Amino acid sequence: MAKLNYIDLFSGAGGLSEGFIRTGFNPIVHVEMDEAACYSLKTRTAYHYLKQKKRLDTYVSYLKDEIKRPDLYSQIPSELLDSVINLPIGADNNDKIHRLINNHLDDQEVDLIIGGPPCQAYSVVGRARDENGMKGDPRNYLYVQYAKYLEKYLPKLFVFENVTGLKSAKGGLYLANMEKLFFKKGYKIHVFTIEANNFGVLQNRKRIIIVGWRDDFVPNLPDLEAIRVQDDSKVKSLFRDLPKIAAGGGKDKYLTYRGDTNPYLEKTSIRNGINILTQHIARPHSEQDKKIYRIAVDKWNQKKERLDYNDLPERLKTHNNRTSFFDRFKVVAQDLPYSQTVVAHISKDGHYYIHPDIGQNRSITIREAARLQSFPDDYYFEGVKEGINRTPAFRQIGNAVPPLMAQKIASMVKDCMA
């Protein structure tokens, strides 16, 4: 069977796409407006190309900081790097994006479109944090742009990922309007509510997946809500082989592992043969924050109780908001089968992701966050400039679809397209 071609819209750092590539799909282009995420996509494109050509030593040299990013990219065909399109999807750019896509398509068909618009507009937390409740935000209507790409390329199926808040946003009106618009373009849809932990991801991450299919294509639609990957692993499986570091410590490139791998890391391919650890870098923290972290970790480890911000000593309370977000300081529980949801706010501070080892007394690193999202250790998250780029890396990870979940979805989609 020939590889099925897909276009990835609103790609982010490529978590959803990674799952489809692993399953044998062929990416035509990735379209993403964030420049840093586009560098991550290019670096991952370089990885897949070099792996296919049995030249991973070049990629390893990059992870070990022996060569720089331009040196790595110079080894990759320009048409592959150019397949990452760094433009915002919308009326101002769609014609240009279409021309670029058509250049890469070379008269091939598009079998599938994947991706989901930025989710802040539909997120319950996003609406709560925004002073206007996201009213008037143009991101509310990016699904209209998505529909234009369906109309243009007529894929057999599409896979649209977003937050569960899409169901409740504006009383469910956005979702109802989506369904009407997609139907008008010739597509029927089914909305699945899924939990990442059911796919083997060690994270509590509930999302919706909309699978749409063209009128003239009748798929044997998979039941994504029925998936239950049997696994007894705990979150500590993700952390215990990593070097112990203090707040502000760690390395961006080439840091060795502290311990041996374990069954969870092996079967999920998080440690997938390249025995090099990167981006295990911890934020620096103020002494006050570290005092709060100690209290939060002790409370959880000793009593399995979460810290309520209002229970802190007055000298440690600096936030004016005492009536909401009481759990703004939260420990990643290593003895549970899942962590709290990793979201983009991790790029602003690490208070909601405190490492469970009180001896390290810090929030989690880029690599630990990536592992919670099931990204393999050889996945490198870039910034616009080379070097340590904690903020864009955390943002990309928080916004991503877990590759392990994406891979299972891709496998089931592939089966129904056969």
In the prediction, which pLDDT does 129 show? 46
- What's the predicted TM-score (pTM) here? 0.94
The tens place of each residue's pLDDT in the chain, 418 residues long, gives: 678 999 999 999 999 999 999 999 999 999 999 999 999 999 999 999 999 999 999 999 999 999 999 999 999 999 999 999 999 999 999 999 999 999 999 889 999 999 988 866 665 554 344 444 444 445 568 999 999 999 999 999 999 999 999 888 888 888 999 999 999 999 999 999 999 999 999 999 999 999 999 999 878 898 999 999 988 999 999 999 999 999 999 999 999 999 999 999 999 999 988 889 999 999 999 999 999 999 999 999 999 999 988 889 989 988 776 666 678 899 999 999 999 999 999 999 999 999 999 999 999 999 999 999 999 999 999 999 998 889 999 999 999 999 999 999 999 999 998 7
**Contact (Cβ atoms closer than 8 angstroms) between residue 274 and residue 256:** no
C-alpha distance from residue 81 to each of 40, 58, 76, 386 (Å):
11, 16, 7, 17
Chain centroid, CA 407 distance in Å: 13
Q: Supply the residues annotated as catalytic.
A: 119
Chain centroid, CA 258 distance in Å: 26
The angle at the Cα of 71, spanning 65 to 75, to the nearest 5 degrees, equals: 120
Which domains, from first to last, does the chain contain?
5-223+401-417 (3.40.50.150)
The first and second tokens of residue 115, run together, are 């991706």
The first and second tokens of residue 258, run together, are 């502290």
**Contact (Cβ atoms closer than 8 angstroms) between residue 400 and residue 13:** yes
Q: In whole angstroms, what is the distance from residue 399 CA to residue 395 CA?
A: 6
In the prediction, which pLDDT does 325 show? 64
**Contact (Cβ atoms closer than 8 angstroms) between residue 414 and residue 25:** yes
Q: What is the pLDDT of residues 362-412, one digit of tens each?
A: 999 999 999 999 999 999 999 999 988 899 999 999 999 999 999 999 999
The β-bridge relationship of strands 157-163 and 187-195 is unpaired
Q: In whole angstroms, what is the distance from residue 356 CA to residue 370 CA?
A: 16
Residue 178 has phi, psi (to 5 degrees) of: -60, -50
Q: In whole angstroms, what is the distance from residue 327 CA to residue 358 CA?
A: 18
The DSSP letter of residue 255 is B
Residue 405: helix, strand or coil by DSSP?
A: helix
